[in-house]
Amino acid sequence: MDNALAGIRILDMTHVQAGPTASQLLAWLGADVIKFEPPTGDITRGQLRDVPGVDSLYFTMLNCNKRSITVNMKSAAGKAVFEGLLQECDVVMENFGPGVLDRLGYNWESIHAKNPSIIMASIKGFGSTGPYAEFKAYENVAQAMGGSMSTTGFNDGPPLVTGAQIGDSGTGLHLAIGILAALQARHRTGRGQFVEVAMMDAVMNLCRVKFRDHQRLTRGPLPEYSVSTADCDAAPRSGNDSGGGQLGNAIRCKPGGANDYIYVVVQEVVWEALARRIGGDALVQDPRFSTLAERRKNQSQMWQLLESFAAQYTKRELMALLNQLDVPCGPIMSTHDLAQDEHVRLRDMYVPLDHPERGSWHNVGMPIKLSNNRVEITRSPLLGEHTEEILKEVLQWSPETIERHRQEGAFTK
Ligand SMILES: CC(C)(COP(=O)(O)OP(=O)(O)OC[C@H]1O[C@@H](n2cnc3c(N)ncnc32)[C@H](O)[C@@H]1OP(=O)(O)O)[C@@H](O)C(=O)NCCC(=O)NCCS
């Protein structure tokens, strides 16, 4: 079966997380992704190592289904490899710090001039324009500056980062969408274009509904928040509030461990059934909770009632019980829970893999399921594992040409 991006070749100069997460998805969609690394490799190969001397999980989990070539772009011979590959690829991706590509002697204009049909996809912390353009960024910098941290956590506590990597992996998703759109446009025009995603912009996009609340505040307090918004000029941190039109909260369950909680959305249509199950007809008739407006006003009492009920059950028991009543809910799943979960296993979302140096390990699977795209996840490449293969197959270089470039310092492996 031809996967969706079969025939598309990507020159992937990205490093760390934001870029590699995008190119890994494109590889799973069928693109031939050439990971173009400096002679020392993507820095994450050596970061947070759990096995001495072996590519870290940080690297292996973001670089599956790619081929690795190591090229020293600071040598003339290395630049010749890069320029050769530019002619043979459909997309070039990078997420270097500001100015890095220019210092290497390239930018979008020069790359476009060399290959007018190539698409160039670039991630920067803050984009290529504006007062912040020269600044580097990592995940939490983007979360801080894109509105996520100021709206995450409890109102009386400090701003918090989310566990989900919205600054890096979230930006990678945006970049992948941009690349796919540019590929589609190229079908019509034959020309490539420049795709840029700033991490700050991506986080703002993911915080879109917080700007809904920001603007609603100008018309008065927000009744659905569990904290007072009377004096707020910005969307506040709202703990575990649902953030939507329905009330929601994380409710503690038996036996009271760190992740023994279930998130419950008290959707308007399920209140009667839920109230009957928790407190019988008396609770159904209770005027404090009879309408959504009353439940919003008295929500702390409602959560207490739910918590007393939940104390008799584990989160899994409650999940079953509440789903019988059609109440939207979800136990708080730890990574341990997820790694063991049958649903996760059946959906290929925690996939066992092998590696010649580390042995067995798992990767999180491909979340985008296409009916004609069979994703067979293969391990990440060793550093420079495919240098010769790529030079031979993609550039059609002879062993002599390869050797000459090696002598001239283009690659070490
Ligand atoms: C992530 C980030 C902060 C890392 O900073 P950094 O480790 O200093 O890395 P930079 O990208 O700034 O620089 C990479 C260096 O490696 C060099 N390099 C990269 N590939 C090379 C190659 N194939 N051959 C030779 N040198 C290479 C670059 O020339 C540059 O060297 P220079 O500083 O002498 O110009 C920075 O890359 C960044 O802000 N990226 C954009 C935002 C982003 O994606 N952040 C999230 C990452 S998850």
pLDDT tens-digit series, residues 353-387: 999 999 999 999 999 999 999 999 999 999 999 99
Mean pLDDT of all residues belonging to the chain: 97
Which atom of ligand 1 is nearest the CA belonging to 13? 20
Which atom of ligand 1 is nearest the CA belonging to 16? 48
- CA neighbor of 165 nearest in space, from 50, 37, 16: 16
State the residue for tokens 């079908």. 187
Per-residue model confidence as pLDDT tens digits over 234-268? 999 999 999 889 999 999 999 999 999 999 999 99
CA of 38 to the centre of ligand 1 (A): 10
Identify the band that residue 84 occupies on the pLDDT scale cut at 50, 70 and 90: very high
Identify which of 43, 56, 96 to mutate to test ligand 1's pocket (most ligand atoms within 8 A of the CB). Answer: 96
Any ligand 1 atom below 6 A from CB of 72: yes
Per-residue model confidence as pLDDT tens digits over 128-139? 999 999 999 999
pLDDT of residue 345: 98
Identify the band that residue 1 occupies on the pLDDT scale cut at 50, 70 and 90: low
Any ligand 1 atom below 6 A from CB of 71: yes
Query: 75 exposed, middle or buried (CB, 10 Å; 0-12, 13-18, 19+)?
Result: middle
Residues of the chain above pLDDT 90, percent: 98
Which residues are annotated as catalytic?
A: 168
CA of 96 to the centre of ligand 1 (A): 4
What are the structural domain ranges in the chain? 9-206+341-407, 209-252+261-331
Spatial separation of the C-alpha atoms in residues 205 and 216, rounded to whole Å: 18
Any ligand 1 atom below 6 A from CB of 77: no
pLDDT of residue 123: 98
The C-alpha angle 395, 396, 401, rounded to 5 degrees, equals 90
Asked if residue 48 has pLDDT above 70, the reply is: yes
Dmax over Cα atoms in the chain, in whole Å? 87
CA of 361 to the centre of ligand 1 (A): 28
Identify the band that residue 275 occupies on the pLDDT scale cut at 50, 70 and 90: very high
Identify the band that residue 412 occupies on the pLDDT scale cut at 50, 70 and 90: confident
Ligand 1: which residue has its CA nearest to atom 19? 38
Spatial separation of the C-alpha atoms in residues 249 and 265, rounded to whole Å: 7
Spatial separation of the C-alpha atoms in residues 371 and 382, rounded to whole Å: 31
Per-residue model confidence as pLDDT tens digits over 177-221? 999 999 999 999 999 999 999 999 999 999 999 999 999 999 999
Fold topology of 209-252+261-331: formyl-coa transferase, domain 3 (3.30.1540)
Ligand 1: which residue has its CA nearest to atom 35? 100
Start-to-end CA span in the chain (Å): 33
Identify which of 100, 166, 390 to mutate to test ligand 1's pocket (most ligand atoms within 8 A of the CB). Answer: 100
In terms of CATH, what superfamily is 9-206+341-407?
Crotonobetainyl-coa:carnitine coa-transferase; domain 1 (3.40.50.10540)
Ligand 1: which residue has its CA nearest to atom 32? 100
Average pLDDT for residues 69-78, to the nearest whole number? 97
Spatial separation of the C-alpha atoms in residues 181 and 26, rounded to whole Å: 13
Asked if residue 413 has pLDDT above 90, the reply is: no
**DSSP symbol at 289:** G
Identify the band that residue 391 occupies on the pLDDT scale cut at 50, 70 and 90: very high
